[in-house]
Amino acid sequence: MTSLDPTFVPPIIDIAPLQSGDAAALAGVAAQLLEPCEELGMFHIVGHGLTRDACQEFESAMHALFALPDEEKAMFERSAENAWGYYNKELTKNRPDWKEIFDYGREHPGAASGERPPHSDGFNRWPDGQPEIKRALLAHHKSCSRIARDLLRALSVGLGLAPDRLDCYFAEDSSFTRLNHYPFCPDPAESDADFFPSQGRLGVHHHSDAGGLTLLYQDSVAGLQALVGDRFVAIEPVDDALTVNLGDMLQIFSNDRFRSPVHRVLARSDRERYSAPFFFNPRYDALCEPIVPTTAREMRPRFKPVSWAHFRGERAAGDFADYGTEIQVDDFRID
């Protein structure tokens, strides 16, 4: 990236008032979230409660995991039967990404016996003899879950709903955390490259996130781009902030009022990059559909109901291997 690259600066919103549980504080944050959710669906948050020490411990654990020898990482590699673990063959839009990943989360009953949809969920696998890595990663996941639930209540209020209206969709959620490592790339695509570059590689190809919302922890190395209008623009990291983008299911719940932004990640030849999105996803048996506030019952639904288990399973299968066309939220539009 160069100084000539177009940059979009999402709003930086202090969500510390959400921790008080006060109704007025909730309404205040909800009002600040409304415009960025309607325009792009992406913003930065501070006041989230993650301390610098906790972030440093988490980032050190992430670096340590990816620094392990390849033969050790192969011992906890993901598979068609277990979607969590290490992987370096991830696809987006059926194209290979320039990255390696590690997925983990809160385990659900039956995960180890394969009762969850294939390619969607799994059971945690950790490097042997490194309990400090497991401890730091699980602590970060737990903190992100708290932050996401606070945000969900504010977003619900912003839609004119009761604060707890969306909670039922995220009870026994299917959320997970992904660690991303983008190594040095010998042939990165240009920052203004098309959706499918004819030359060069992308860290992650263009996509929207499938679930409710994503909390992105990233280091100081820029690489994230969002589609604003008809061009991709840089979303620069902000010190001590998490970057939030809404997912496809929030777009459906809001009946198209909120946006699920298309975004991608550039590969770089000069710097390696680390990031960690926490994907806040609904429960597997959730049927996601537009929720119309009582003051607007005349509003016509723009989406058919979506089975989250089906949507998540199809999206994840397309990421793991080239299993057909990647499912999209627009497949469920009512025209």
Q: Which residue would you say has higher pLDDT here, 51 or 114?
A: 51
Domain boundaries, the chain: 12-332
The pLDDT confidence band at residue 9, using thresholds 50, 70 and 90, is confident
| pTM listed for this prediction | 0.94
Each residue's pLDDT tens digit, 22-70: 999 999 999 999 999 999 999 999 999 999 999 999 999 999 999 999 9
Q: pLDDT-derived band of residue 320, with 50, 70 and 90 as boundaries? A: low
Give the residue, 95 or 224, on which the prediction is more confident: 224
Buried/exposed 142-156: b ≥16 CB within 10 Å, e otherwise: ebbbebbebbbbbbb
Mean per-residue pLDDT, 254-269: 96
More confident residue, 128 or 324: 128
Q: Is the pLDDT of residue 86 over 50?
A: yes
- Residues in contact with 209: Cβ distance below 8 Å, sequence separation at least 6, in sequence order: 245, 246, 247, 248, 260, 277, 279
Spatial neighbors of 304 by CB under 8 A, at least 6 apart, are 289, 332, 333, 334
SS3 annotation, 303-319: ECCEEHHHHHHHHHHHH
What CA–CA distance (Å, rounded) separates 251 from 137?
29
CA distance 14 to 45: 6
Question: Mean per-residue pLDDT for 296-308?
Answer: 84
CATH of 12-332, one of 2.60.120.330, 3.30.360.10, 1.10.10.10, 3.20.20.70: 2.60.120.330
User: What pLDDT is recorded for position 85?
Assistant: 93
Predicted pLDDT of residue 3: 40
Task: Reply yes or no on whether the pLDDT at 161 is more than 90.
Answer: yes
Q: What is the pLDDT of residue 2?
A: 40
Give, in order, the Cα–Cα distances in Å from 35 to each of 30, 43, 49, 54, 91. 10, 10, 23, 31, 32
